[in-house]
Structure 1
Amino acid sequence: MDLTVVAYAVYLLVSIALTVWVARTLSRNGQIFLADVLRGNEKLADAVNHLLVVGFYLVNLGFVALYLRAADAVATARGLVETLSVKLGVVLLVLGVLHLANVYVLSRIRRRGAMEREQLPPVEPQGFTAPAQA
């Protein structure tokens, strides 16, 4: 069997497994963060979490598919390992960048919500007292 085909198969298996693992981890652990960002609205947090996971899968699996082709044919076991390390390293970097982008956007939303909550007085006004005349 051609080593290039072996490289493609291993690359696809590992890349898809990594994408699924990262998506599940982010989904599970990000649920609490989303609920906080969305002020405790669990139903909305579930919906946003699901949409983020779907987008994450589409972008990452699309990238994995586009990045499948090797520039040169793989002829040796060393070439196989080198090709796989470069391809999987790039996939890991893309996964990390997308994760950081998600966290950045959600933290901005969270910060904006916290600022809006701080503008409200902690207790409603009880009445009005006219200023004293000097």
Structure 2
Amino acid sequence: MDLTVVAYVIYLLISVALTIWVARTLSRNGRVFLADVLHGNEKLADAVNHLLVVGFYLVNLGFVTLYLKNSDTVADARGLFDALSVKVGVVLLVLGVMHLGNVYVLNRIRRRGLMDREQTPPVPPQGWTAPGTGPWTAPTAKA
């Protein structure tokens, strides 16, 4: 068997396994974060989490597939490791950038939600008092 084909198979196995592992880890650990971002709405957090995982798979597996082709033929074991190290390294960098992008966007959404919560008073106003009628007003001088 040609070593280039062996490099392709090993690259696909490693890249797909890494993508699945990262997606599952992000899904499992990101659920709590999403629930906080979405103000405790568990059903919405699960739905958004699932959509993020599907998008993560599509983008990363699409990239892995597009990046599969190797311009050079692999002649020996050293060439096999050289090709694999570059390809798997790039896939890891793309996975990391995707993860940081997701965390950045979700953190921005979370911050906006926290700012909205801080601007809303904990108790709605109870009424309106006209100026000068409260117990804190100074008594007026009698002539």
Distance 2:116 2:3 in 1: 58
Structure 2 regions of 5+ residues with no counterpart? Answer: 134-139
Q: Counterparts in 2 of 1:62-81, with a 5 A limit? A: 62-81=62-81
Q: Distance in 1 between matches of 2:40 and 2:53?
A: 20
Once the two structures are superposed, the pairs formed by residues 2-21 of structure 1 within 5 Å of their partners are 2-21=2-21
State the partner residue of 1:46.
46
Partner of 1:85: 85
Q: Deviations over 1:30-89 (max 9, x none)?
A: 000000000000000000000000000000000000000111000010000010000000
Deviation at 1:131, TM superposition (A): 1.2
TM-score (norm 1): 0.97
Moved over 3 A (4+): none
Taking structure 2 as the reference length, the TM-score comes to 0.91
The DSSP-based 3-state class of the residue aligned with 1:84 is helix
Question: Equivalent pairs: percent with the same residue?
Answer: 78
CA distance in 2, matches of 1:46, 1:61: 22
Larger Rg: 2
Matched letter for residue 50 of structure 1:
H
- Alpha-carbon distance between aligned partners in 1 of 2:121 and 2:88, rounded to the nearest angstrom: 52
The answer for unaligned runs of 5 or more in structure 1 is none
Q: Shift of the alpha carbon at 1:127? A: 2.2
The one-letter code matched in structure 2 to 1:10 is I
Number of corresponding residues: 134
Q: If each structure's helix is expressed as a fraction of its own residues, which one has the higher value?
A: 1
Residue 115 in structure 1 maps to residue 119 in structure 2:
no
Pair 1:37-2:37 in alignment? yes
Distance 1:110 1:78 in 2: 47
Shift of 1:126: 2.0
